[in-house]
Amino acid sequence: MKKAICLSALSLFLLGGRTVAQETKNAVININANEKVGDISPMFYGLMTEEINYSYDGGLYAELLRNRAFKDNDTKLDHWSLVQEGTSVGQIALDSVEQKGTALNRNLRLDIVSTDGKGRIGIANDGFWGIPVKANTKYTASFYAKTDADFKGTLTVAIESNDGKTVYVDAKVAKVNGDWRKYSVVLNTGKVEETTNARFIITTKQTGAIWFSLVSLFPPTYNNRPNGNRKDIMELLADMKPGFLRFPGGNYLQSKKLETRFDWKLTLGDISQRPTHDNNSWGYHSSDGMGIMEFLGWCEDLKMESILAVFDGLLLSRRSALSLDSLKPYVQDALDEIEFVNGDASTKWGAVRVKLGHPKPYNVKYIEVGNEDFFDRVGKTWDARYTLFYDAIKAKYPNINVISSAHVKTRMPDFEDIHDYFSYKKALGLAHKFDRYKRSDAKVFEGEWACREGVPTTNMLAALGDAAFLTGMERNADIVKMSCYAPLFVNVNPKAMQWKSDLIGYDAGSSYGSPSYYLQKTFSENIGDQSVKSSIENVPMAADTTEQLFYSVTKNSKSGTLFLKIVNVSDTTQSVNIEIKSDKTILPEGEEIVLTSDKVTDTNSITDPKKIVPVSGVAKGLGKHFTYSFKPHSVTVLRMGAKS
Q: Report in angstroms how near the CB of residue 242 gets to ligand AHR at its nearest.
A: 17
Residue of 49, 50, 67, 418 interacting with ligand AHR (CB under 6 A): 50
DSSP annotation of 314: B
Could you list the beta-strand ranges (E) of 162-281. 167-176, 181-188, 195-204, 208-218, 244-247, 277-279
Is 59 an interacting residue with respect to ligand AHR (CB under 6 A)?
no
Single-letter amino acid, residue 155: L
Min dist CB 500 to ligand AHR, Å, is 10
Among 374, 397, 437, 499, binds ligand AHR (CB under 6 A): 499
Three-class secondary structure assignment of 16-46: CCEEEEEEEECEEEEEEEEEEEEECCCCCEE
CB 581 within 8 A of CB 555: no
Q: How far apart are CA 603 and CA 615, in angstroms?
A: 16
Which of 55, 115, 216, 251: binder of ligand AHR (CB under 6 A)? 251
Given candidates 249, 370, 465, 590, which one binds ligand AHR under the rule CB under 6 A?
249
Query: In the complex, what is the shortest distance from the CB of residue 457 to ligand AHR, in angstroms, rounded to a whole number?
Result: 14
DSSP code at position 325:
G
Please state, in angstroms and rounded to a whole number, the distance separating the CA atoms of residues 562 and 31: 10
Alpha carbons 599 and 420: distance in angstroms, whole number: 25
Contact flags string 194-233 toward ligand AHR, x per CB under 6 A: ----------------------------------------
**Least Cβ distance, residue 303 to ligand AHR (angstroms):** 24
Burial (CB count <10 Å: 0-12, 13-18, 19+), residue 294:
buried
| Nearest CB to ligand AHR, comparing residues 426 and 624 | 426
Q: Which among 34-42, 235-243, 248-256, 396-404 is the span making contact with ligand AHR, rule CB under 6 A?
A: 248-256
**Smaller CB separation from ligand AHR, 251 or 636:** 251
CA distance 12 to 19: 6
Residues of span 539-578 touching ligand AHR by CB under 6 A: none
Phi-psi region of 318 (alpha: psi -120 to 50; beta: other; left: phi over 0): left
112 binds ligand AHR (CB under 6 A): no
For the CA atoms of 371, 462, 469, 638, the dihedral, rounded to the nearest 10 degrees, stands at: 130
Q: How far is the CB of 419 from ligand AHR (least distance, A)?
A: 6
* Cα 162 to Cα 81, 125, 378, 419, distances in angstroms: 11, 10, 52, 44
Q: Of 168 and 244, which CB lies nearer to ligand AHR in the complex structure?
A: 244
| Site residues (CB under 6 A) for ligand AHR, limited to 116-155 | none
CB of 50 to ligand AHR, least distance (A): 6
| Binding window for ligand AHR (CB under 6 A); candidates: 73-81, 205-213, 243-251, 470-478 | 243-251
Least Å distance between CB 496 and ligand AHR? 15
Tell me the H-state helices in 169-291: 231-239, 251-254
Contact between 488 and ligand AHR per CB under 6 A: no
User: 458: number of CA atoms within 13 Å, CB side?
Assistant: 34
Residue type, 251: N
Indicate whether 250 belongs to the interface with ligand AHR (CB under 6 A): yes
Q: Which is nearer to ligand AHR, 282 or 523 (CB)?
A: 282
Between 45 and 362, name the residue whose CB sits nearer to ligand AHR: 45
Q: How far is the CB of 447 from ligand AHR (least distance, A)?
A: 8
Which one of 246-254, 406-414, 452-460, 572-580 is the stretch in contact with ligand AHR (CB under 6 A)? 246-254
Residue nearest to ligand AHR (CB): 250
Give the H or E element holding residue 123: strand 121-125
Beta-sheet strands, E only, within 452-599:
480-485, 489-491, 504-506, 511-513, 530-537, 549-555, 562-568, 574-581, 585-586, 590-596
Q: Which of residues 361-380 bind ligand AHR (CB under 6 A)?
A: 371-372
| One-letter amino acid for residue 461 of the chain | L
When the beta carbons of 146 and 452 are compared against ligand AHR, the nearer one is 452
414 phi and psi, to 5 degrees? -65, -35
Report the nearest approach of ligand AHR to the CB of residue 425 (Å).
20
Among 339, 448, 507, 592, binds ligand AHR (CB under 6 A): 448
Whole-number minimum distance, CB 267 to ligand AHR, in Å?
A: 18
Contact call for residues 483 and 470 (beta carbons, < 8 A): yes
Distance CA 276, CA 338 (A): 22
Q: How far apart are CA 606 and CA 590, in angstroms?
A: 34
Residue 505 lies near ligand AHR (rule: CB under 6 A): no
Stretch that binds ligand AHR, among 60-68, 245-253, 396-404, 429-437 (CB under 6 A): 245-253
Q: Nearest approach, Cβ of 562 to ligand AHR (angstroms)? A: 34
Comparing CB distances to ligand AHR, the nearer of 243 and 487 is 487
Q: How many residues bind ligand AHR (CB under 6 A)?
A: 11
Tell me which residues touch ligand AHR (CB under 6 A): 50, 52, 249-251, 371-372, 448, 486-487, 499
